[in-house]
Amino acid sequence: MQIKTAVLKASVFNSTQLPKPALPEIAMVGRSNVGKSSLINCLTGRKGLARTSSTPGKTQSINFYLVNEAWYLVDLPGYGYAQVSKKEKASWNRLIEGYLTGRPTLRGLVHLVDIRHPPMESDLVMQDWIRSLGIPALVVATKLDKISRGRRMQHLKAVNAGLGLTNPAIPFSAVTGEGLTELTDALSLWLE
């Protein structure tokens, strides 16, 4: 699959404003700051498409990026960011739940985790939720470039074991583009 065009079509802050499901969608989920927006930029080859930040909690809306005028890449706000109030957490839950349970067009979920650390409790909760939804999903272990080559396998094993994955995570770096081909191939299969 070659991505020729990618444009932001909608930003949604409330589940009542979600666009009607129409074209196929693939969504990114993961902890705040894990690299969801960076992955979207890497995948589309458009550096400034999705806003990224070193401060967690950057993406607070669900953003719909129309790709090749044929399908949507969906950037979901991150979870697990400590500096948010109970009210904000509840609002995140409603928004994400509204999205995940109401999209017959959702072809697959990309669950991002940081390859540097073993999965956290919130990652396990998300992974369980994904399984219970029965939506096709794959795990991407991000920030691969931050781990020395000699230690990569060990970190990848910790991610796979920690999440109890039968299909191993795809190691990925938005900086070097490692893992990009494997990821693009997986998304293509979902879109067929």
Give contact residues for Mg ion (rule: CB under 5 A): 36-37, 58-59
Q: Which of 54, 37, 59 is nearest to 112 (CA)?
A: 37
Residues in the chain: 192
Q: How far is the CB of 192 from ligand GTP (least distance, A)?
A: 27
Largest CA distance in the chain: 48
Q: Which is nearer to ligand GTP, 48 or 104 (CB)?
A: 48
Residue nearest to ligand GTP as judged by C-beta position: 78
Query: Helices (DSSP H) in the chain: which residue ranges?
Result: 36-44, 86-100, 121-133, 152-163, 180-191
Q: Which is nearer to Mg ion, 36 or 143 (CB)?
A: 36
Q: Which does 34 bind (CB under 5 to 8 A by kind): Mg ion, ligand GTP, none?
A: ligand GTP
Q: Which does 174 bind (CB under 5 to 8 A by kind): ligand GTP, Mg ion, none?
A: ligand GTP
Q: Which is nearer to Mg ion, 52 or 127 (CB)?
A: 52
Q: Which is nearer to ligand GTP, 141 or 187 (CB)?
A: 141
Q: Which does 53 bind (CB under 5 to 8 A by kind): ligand GTP, Mg ion, none?
A: ligand GTP
Q: How far is the CB of 96 from Mg ion (least distance, A)?
A: 14
Residue whose tokens read 């992955």: 39
Q: Which is nearer to ligand GTP, 147 or 163 (CB)?
A: 147
Residue 67 to residue 184: CA distance in whole angstroms: 13
**Angle at CA of residue 152, ends 150 and 158, nearest 5°:** 130
Contact 40, 58 (CB under 8 A): no
Give contact residues for ligand GTP (rule: CB under 6 A): 30, 32-38, 52-54, 56-59, 77-78, 142-143, 145-146, 173-175
Q: How far is the CB of 31 from Mg ion (least distance, A)?
A: 11
Strand order in the sheet with 25-30: 6-12, 62-67, 71-75, 25-30, 106-114, 137-142, 170-171
